[in-house]
Amino acid sequence: MTQTAKLLEVPVYNLNGEPVEKIKLPAFFASPIRVDLIRRVYLALFTSRLQPKGTDPLAGLRTTAESLGVGHGIARVARIKGGMRAARVVQAVKGRKAHPPRVDEVIHEEVNKKEKRKALLSAIAATVVKDLVLSRGHVVPDKELPIIVADDFEKISTAKELREALGKLGLWEDVERAQENTRIRAGKGKMRGRRYKKPKSLLIVVGEKQGVEKAARSMPGVDVVRASDLSVLHLAPGGVPGRLTLYTVSAVKVLEERLKDEVLYK
């Protein structure tokens, strides 16, 4: 699937949600949107953070159990010497796992550097297409996408100020959507430090972290990332492009400098 974002000259908003000037988006905001490439690179980046795991190859086999053979009127499974309890076989009580994780299993998906760069361009371009943002379930304000704000936004230091600013920009409803849809996870994950499942909401891309990251840390689904660290993991959670994204003016300049050597592709 290939979609193309239209190159736009978008307004820059102040903290009151009022347009104060216009800024022309860099050329990479018009990159073709390769959903398949974004998905592939997302999986590569996600699996690169997984910790390899496996069981001891001799787990469940350190035992004196041996089969008694035939002619005893009992199953020919290995049994602990001096008793009748079965061992060594997977179907026994306290037996070993049938198919445990293997230490030599490949859990990291490789990806070419060029594919990684092009996927980042595609994911950035997807933040401009309102249909893709809506298809992710976001509540989108009646404004042109992406939403660009003045650099004063980076200096917001309290959650109250940030909530007021997002409300005036029409973005607070999406944060409320994430709060309302936060739910308790089903299964044993509740006992393993991941009790809640939280939907992803607004992504705030800044030039430098000057306080807004602290103001946003208590808001469900809201992430703050520097433009120099921006990746497909932030822009396309789950490998699905079109996250609702807010950029500061300095963030756009940092991205333009970072991606100036990238060539648009067809």
What pLDDT is recorded for position 105?
A: 84
User: Which of 46-50, 90-94, 119-123, 139-143 has the least mean pLDDT?
Assistant: 90-94
> Which pLDDT value is given to residue 216?
94
Q: What's the residue count for the chain?
A: 266
Whether the pLDDT of residue 5 is over 70: the answer is no
* Distance between CA atoms of residues 11 and 31, nearest Å: 20
Which pLDDT tens digit goes with each residue over 166-208? 999 999 999 999 999 999 999 999 999 999 999 999 999 999 9
**Mean pLDDT for all residues in the chain:** 90
Yes or no: say if 34 and 241 are a contact pair by the CB < 8 Å rule: no
The string of pLDDT tens digits covering residues 244-260 is 999 999 999 999 999 87
Report CA-CA distances (Å) from 189 to 2, 47, 101, 215, 240.
Answer: 37, 19, 18, 28, 24
Predicted local confidence at residue 262, as pLDDT: 64
Q: What is the pLDDT of residue 3?
A: 47
In terms of C-beta distances under 8 Å and separation of at least 24 residues, what long-range contacts does 109-112 make, across chains too? 109/40, 109/43, 109/44, 109/47, 110/44, 111/40, 111/41, 111/44
Specify the higher pLDDT residue, 265 or 205.
205
Give the number of other CB atoms < 10 A from CB of residue 180: 10
Q: Is residue 246 helix, strand or coil?
A: strand
To the question of domain 2-50+111-258 being in CATH 3.40.1370.10, the answer is: yes
Instruction: Convert the pLDDT of each residue in 77-136 to its tens digit.
Output: 999 998 889 999 998 887 888 888 888 888 888 999 999 999 999 999 999 999 999 999
Joined tokens for residue 53: 């795991």
Torsion over CA: 124, 131, 223, 213 (sign): positive
User: So where are the chain's domains?
Assistant: 2-50+111-258, 54-107
Helix 159-169 vs helix 172-180: angle between axes, to the nearest 10 degrees?
Answer: 110
Contact at 8 Å (CB) between 199 and 177? yes
Q: Two tokens at 18?
A: 């009022």
Supply the DSSP symbol for 146: S
pLDDT category, 42, cuts 50, 70, 90?
A: very high
> Minimal CA–CA distance to 54: which of 133, 107, 113, 132?
107
Q: Is the pLDDT of residue 8 over 80?
A: no
Q: For residues 146-165, give the mean pLDDT.
A: 93
Tell which wins on pLDDT, 71 or 3: 71
